[in-house]
Structure 1
Amino acid sequence: MTHVKFNHSPLPRLVEDIFNSGWNKYVKDDFLTSDFFTTHPPVNIVETKDAFLLDVVAPGFVKEDFKISADDKAITISAERKAEAKTEGDKQVRREFNFKSFKRSFSITETVDVNRIQAKYENGILKVTLSKKENKQDAPKEIVVE
């Protein structure tokens, strides 16, 4: 008689499903390839006393390629670079880079003054300044105890 051992634990099957299913494809195809980083440029966000500072790494663009829109809830930054026209007779020997369009949106708080947002593009970095609203505090009011 042969002794057969059964593994009733669902954990090994669950782990196998995670790595062999669409999740693995999603991670491998989007995050681990350079495609993810070229379509979603890295962004640094710093909060100062007076503003939020967004730095978007986007080398190879010109300032006319960017479009920035904002409302009370979000700011959207996008860029699109038109393909370079080929000169007749030129032969492409090697092409290792291209510029892809991107679009990123960020939620903003009610402290941001949408009318005072500024942007500047220099050295491959788009610098967006989201100024905060000025806090106008009322003068302390004296309360008389009766």
Structure 2
Amino acid sequence: MVESNQSASLWPHLYEPFSRIGTKLKNWLAPASDASSSDNAYRITVELPGVTEEDIELTAENGLLTVSGEKVEETEEKGATWYFSERQYGSFRRSFRMPEDADIGKTEAHVKDGVLTITVPRRTPDESQGKKIPVKKS
């Protein structure tokens, strides 16, 4: 009986490194983000630690705002009797469907401390609802 309890407690420890790999892979392919809105703008923040502004591409097409790029991370640690080096490379991509009143042409983006902040202004109700076109007599 004691052996089965010990082996049962051993199995979760064997799978633990694999669960962390899945989380790392998910974070590399689709970085964490947060979206909010106010009366005059939409704001999206995307966590991109270790990514420089040169490695970020922001595109807009057909109401879809897409953040993509390349992430390169290198870690090196040294001790008196040991040395550890790790390199991770990969591309990421995250897309956001914007509402009809978003003025994507006036989008602004800034990166600071590994966080990309995207601000998309909202059109005024008059601009987003269209215009009435008068019909004239010929």
**Does TM, scored on the shorter chain, surpass 0.5?**
yes
Query: 1:53 matched to which residue of 2?
Result: 43
**Alpha carbons 1:45, 1:55 under 8 Å: kept:** yes
The answer on 1:111 being equivalent to 2:101 is yes
Query: 1:73 matched to which residue of 2?
Result: 63
Larger fraction in helix: 2
Aligned-pair identity in percent equals 25
Query: 2:126 matched to which residue of 1?
Result: 136
AA aligned opposite 2:116: L
Unaligned runs of 5+ in 2: 1-17, 75-82, 128-138
Cα separation, 2, equivalents of 1:39 and 1:131: 27
Larger fraction in strand: 2
SS of the equivalent of 1:94 reads strand
Aligned residue pairs total 102
TM-score normalised to structure 2 length: 0.63
Query: 2:90 matched to which residue of 1?
Result: 100
* Post-superposition offset of 1:29: 6.9
**Alpha carbons 1:30, 1:36 under 8 Å: kept:** no
Unaligned runs of 5+ in 1: 1-27, 85-92, 138-146
Q: Classify 1:37/1:132 alpha carbon distance in 2 versus 1 (closer, same or farther; 3 Å).
A: same
Structure ID, larger Rg: 1
Query: 1:121 matched to which residue of 2?
Result: 111
Cα RMSD, aligned residues only? 2.6
Cα separation, 1, equivalents of 2:20 and 2:124: 41
C-alpha offsets along residues 27-72 of structure 1, whole Å, 9 cap, x if unaligned? x879953211222110000111111100000011111111111124
